[in-house]
Structure 1
Amino acid sequence: MLALRLRAPISPVSASLLRSRRALRHAALPSVRLMSTESQQEKQYEFILTSRPAEGVALITLNRPKALNALSTPLFTELNDAVKRFDEDDSVRALVLTGSDRAFAAGADIKEMKDKQFSEVFKGKFLESWGLLTTIRKPIIAAVSGYALGGGCELALMCDIILASPSAKFGQPEINIGVIPGGGGSQRLAHAIGKSRAMEIVLTGRNFTAQEASDWGMVSRVVPDEEGGVVKAAVDMAAVIASKSAIAVQAGKEVVNAAFEHTLAEGLRYERRLFHGMFATKDQKEGMSAFAEKRQPKWSHS
């Protein structure tokens, strides 16, 4: 949840994902080439940008460059609205969430929080709405460059898959301002990297690198800049996911998440029941028939 004033150079990203260098210096935001005119009709927001860079894929870009994408209630209100809209849109089957080269999100907006009182945050359920991302049925891929600290780290952990650029820096530095993580950092970090490492990160406030996050299993992989950049890799992965049966994808996400909520025996039963349920779908019949007939399946997502 910690927002810091940090200065770091902007790393180069694939030309296919960026505007001109002149525009980049002014905006400091990644841009993905749009693949359809539908993206021109997206709802306009103040603190986020939305587009559809590939078929079935929605891209959400945090857009507070002067504040290093510090997370605030207004930003999360817009983010929650966008993900809810995309979750209800059948033409979208996977989402990508990213920030800028300098910062995925450098933390929460301390100016918003510093004068709040206990009764206010308790009665107002402060930060509770930040967890809406975890209720979205469609997969969300975080494409992380630069700083992902405090709330930024927590936001990445709320996503289903994390891809990181070599410049990514993660951390939970709340201990440095006299508090603890409040957006799920201590809980999701412990699940992702284990108790001992999570305890070290939360109690010392030290940052850790993209490579450490990858070695510990928190990040799916680190994407070298020469491969086109982390946003392109995330969009490409989302496009692959979007090309599958939407019902199977959502069921797959549900059973993997269940592994963190159930015992092994309960999780196995839950997985088996959902697997059995897939036999009531048209996509199961089409997928298995296509395999037997040695052809590509034509999903109806039903």
Structure 2
Amino acid sequence: MTEPLLIERREDRVVATLNRPEKRNAIDQDMIDALHALCAELEADPRTLILAGSETVFAGGADIAQLRDRDAADARRAINATAFIRVNELPMPVIAAISGYALGGGAELAYAADLRITSPTLKIGNPETGLGIMAAAGATWRLPEIVGGARASELLLTGRILNADEALAWGLVSSIHPAGELLGAAHALADRIAANDALATRHTKLALRAPRQQHPDIERELQAELFESDEKHRRMTAFLNRKKKS
């Protein structure tokens, strides 16, 4: 049986490649189970996560054959949404390297990432209403946070599919790279993250994800912890020493 996720583990990051090429990387129950298992690993041992697909398709959507047979009880279980929330709430940053098609549930998995980069072949959007359902795995609340309410409404109510240039202009992705260089660009982002203090990175992500009403109190408490850390003193001392020598 083919593994739904191909996982490469490094000391400071994990690369998870969606691996259902015969189904255009459609997200089925096995892939959801694999995402949960990976999240459990990264919750226990925090590292940056890079999510990737192939050069032609990130994820073509949820598996329609399974989706067609799901009923109201399945909808209330929020099968995909629960996994994507867990991805979004991982302690360290999540980078989505999106090439080709990212539709429906595939787009919603990308929305759950902290950073999204793409290739010029990107086609991203949520055509769910054309299939008699709605985008219910995070798009209705994540998209307004990412691109604003007006643009989120246009995407979700019309089923419009964005290309790479449109996604960049709308702020849905942060950069475009040739397909063959996309994973390298994701690793370059992970390298920059790895060069920083892991706890400071985790606290920054936590503050970014906190509801508005928790600010500014959450920054004060997280910063207070960082101010007492050995790593803060070590890094600042090294900075001052370098400055003296320059």
In 1: Cα distance, 2:132 partner to 2:106 partner: 18
Which moved further from structure 2: 140-149 or 125-134?
A: 125-134
CA contact (8 A) 2:101 2:124 kept: yes
Conservation of the 8 A alpha-carbon contact between 1:166 and 1:210: yes
Match of 1:232 in 2: 184
Contact 1:55–1:242 (Cα < 8 Å) also in 2: no
Percent identity reads: 35
Indicate which of 208, 214, 217 corresponds to 2:162.
Answer: 208
Picking from 28, 53, 77, the partner of 2:33 is: 77
Give the match for residue 171 of structure 1: 125
Conserved 8 A contact 2:42-2:90 = no
Which of residues 14, 24, 27 in structure 2 aligns to 1:58? 14
Distance (whole Å) between structure 2 residues aligned to residue 74 and residue 177 of structure 1: 22
Q: Deviations over 1:47-93 (max 9, x none)?
A: 110113x6522111000001110011210110221232133226xx3
State the alpha-carbon separation in 2 of the partners of residues 105 and 119 from structure 1.
25
Equivalences for 1:196-275 in 2 at 5 Å? 196-225=150-179, 229-258=181-210, 261-263=211-213, 266-275=214-223
Shift of the 161–204 alpha-carbon distance from structure 1 to 2, 3 Å rule, reads same
Of the three residues 90, 100, 118, the one matched with 2:72 is: 118
Question: For 1:233 and 1:188, how far apart are their aligned partners in 2?
Answer: 24
Contact 1:105-1:151 at 8 Å conserved across structures: yes
Aligned length: 242
Q: Is the 8 A contact 1:176 1:205 kept in 2?
A: yes
User: Structure 1 residues 120 and 255, CA, compared in 2 at 3 Å: closer, same or farther?
Assistant: closer
CA distance in 2, matches of 1:119, 1:79: 21
Contact 2:126–2:159 (Cα < 8 Å) also in 1 = yes
Q: 1:84 to 1:120 in 2, by over 3 A?
A: closer
Aligned-partner SS, 1:179: coil
- Which ranges of structure 1 fall in alignment gaps of 5 or more residues? 1-43, 296-302
Q: CA deviation at 1:45?
A: 7.2
Partners of 1:133 and 1:50 lie apart in 2 by: 15
Pick the aligned partner of 1:182 from 109, 131, 136: 136
Provide closer, same or farther for how the CA distance between residues 240 and 86 of structure 1 changes in structure 2, counting only shifts above 3 A: same
**Separation (CA, whole Å) in 2 of partners of 1:256 and 1:97:** 20
Q: TM-score, normalised by structure 1?
A: 0.75
Structure 2: gaps of 5 or more residues: none
- The CA deviation string for residues 139-184 of structure 1, in whole angstroms up to 9 with x for no partner, is 1100000001111110001011001111111101001111110101
3-state SS of 1:294 partner: helix
- Identify the match of residue 80 of structure 2 among 123, 127, 150: 127
CA contact (8 A) 1:144 1:165 kept: yes
Contact 1:57 1:239 in 2 (8 A): no
Higher relative contact order (CA 8 A, sep 6+): 1
**Aligned counterpart for 2:43 among listed residues 69, 78, 87:** 87
What displacement does 1:125 show?
Answer: 4.2
